[in-house]
């Protein structure tokens, strides 16, 4: 099975930390964040497609064509046009059902394994500080029916962690714009419901790495995510 990992952005909230380093290559315990992700993927993943952009050559130089026993391929995202736009770039390389991850978050291997059992899936987490994240809604069967992006006034709820299982049929969908320049992946999944239903899988653990504070937390928690 293949995994598509989105690793094209600079990470403006990281400030000076990403002036000369792409965000997924920031160090956690002396190892690039993206290396932790690749080393901790479920065994079913045999090939990884990295969507790169900002300082992408650093990523290619570090990981090469093989890493952690998996083939690595690269696709350059020259124009940052959202998560759905990034995934769309991988279409020529996709063979079957595939996993999608954000390159700068920490996921638990067992959670990702649960996702792979579904045809379509999105990893969500119930949190009490939901203001930072996009919220999701579900039907009685536990399938994705809506997305509420920031800003919103809900302090608690199910949030989107940015991990998905998709089928090649995704590429037939019309991408849903979320701004003048970006297309949203979860919004596009909502648009194809109920023809294709995306199952909500609740994460046991998840750590976003979007700011210097998050990076420090990731350093403190990294061993929780290594199996």
Residues 6+ apart with CB under 8 A from 61: none
Q: For residue 165, is it within any domain?
A: yes
Q: Could you report the per-residue pLDDT of 184-203, keeping only the tens digit for each? A: 999 999 999 999 999 999 99
Q: For residue 121, is it within any domain?
A: yes
Q: How many domains does the chain have?
A: 1
Residues 6+ apart with CB under 8 A from 180: none
Q: For residue 160, is it within any domain?
A: yes
Cα-to-chain-centroid distance, residue 186: 11
**Average pLDDT score over the chain:** 95
Q: For residue 103, is it within any domain?
A: yes
Q: For residue 227, is it within any domain?
A: no
Domain hosting residue 201, numbered range: 2-222
Q: For residue 149, is it within any domain?
A: yes
- Report if pTM > 0.85: yes
Measure CA of the first residue to CA of the last residue in the chain; give whole Å: 20
Q: Could you report the per-residue pLDDT of 25-60, keeping only the tens digit for each? A: 999 999 999 999 999 999 999 999 999 999 999 999
3-state secondary structure string across the chain: CEEEEEECCCCHHHHHHHCCCCHHHCEECCEEHHHHHHHCCCCCCCEEEEEECCCHHHHHHHHCCEECCEEEEEEECCCCCHHHHHHHCCHHHCCCCEEEEECCEEECHHHHHHHCCCCCEEEEEEECCHHHCCEEEECCCCEEEEEECCCCCCCCEEEEEEEEEECHHHHHCCCEECCCCCEEHHHHHHHCCCCCCCEEEECCCEEECCCHHHHHHHHHHHHHHCC
Quote the pLDDT of residue 43.
97
* Assigned token pair, 122: 């999105």
- At 139, phi and psi to the nearest 5? -90, -175
Which residue in this structure is represented by tokens 């999944």? 189
Quote the pLDDT of residue 191.
98
Q: What is the CA radius of gyration of the chain?
A: 16
How many other CB atoms are there within 10 angstroms of residue 158's CB atom?
21
Q: Could you report the per-residue pLDDT of 61-114, keeping only the tens digit for each? A: 999 999 999 999 999 999 999 999 999 999 999 999 999 999 989 999 999 999
Confidence check: pLDDT of 10 > 90: no
More confident residue, 227 or 169: 169
Q: Supply the CATH number for residue 126's domain.
A: 3.90.550.10
């Amino acid at each position: 099975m293949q995994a598509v990992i989105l690793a094209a952005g600079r990470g403006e909230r990281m400030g000076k930390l990403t002036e000369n380093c792409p965000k997924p290559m920031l160090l956690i315990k002396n190892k690039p964040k993206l290396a932790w992700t690749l080393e901790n993927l479920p065994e079913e993943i045999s090939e990884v497609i990295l969507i790169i952009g900002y300082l992408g050559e650093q990523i290619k130089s570090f990981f090469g064509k093989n890493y952690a026993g998996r083939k690595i391929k690269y696709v350059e995202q020259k124009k940052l046009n959202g998560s759905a736009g990034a995934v769309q770039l991988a279409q020529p390389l996709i063979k079957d059902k595939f996993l999608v991850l954000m390159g700068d978050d920490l996921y638990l291997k067992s959670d990702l394994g649960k996702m792979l059992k579904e045809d379509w899936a999105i990893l969500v987490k119930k949190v009490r500080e939901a203001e930072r994240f996009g919220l999701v809604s579900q039907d009685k069967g536990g399938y994705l029916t809506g997305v509420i992006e920031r800003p919103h006034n809900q302090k608690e709820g199910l949030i989107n962690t940015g991990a998905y299982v998709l089928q090649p049929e995704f590429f037939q969908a019309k991408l849903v714009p979320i701004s003048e320049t970006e297309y949203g992946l979860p919004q596009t999944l909502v648009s194809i419901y109920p023809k294709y239903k995306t199952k909500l899988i609740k994460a046991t653990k998840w750590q976003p790495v979007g700011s210097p504070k998050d990076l420090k937390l990731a350093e403190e928690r990294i061993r929780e995510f290594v199996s």
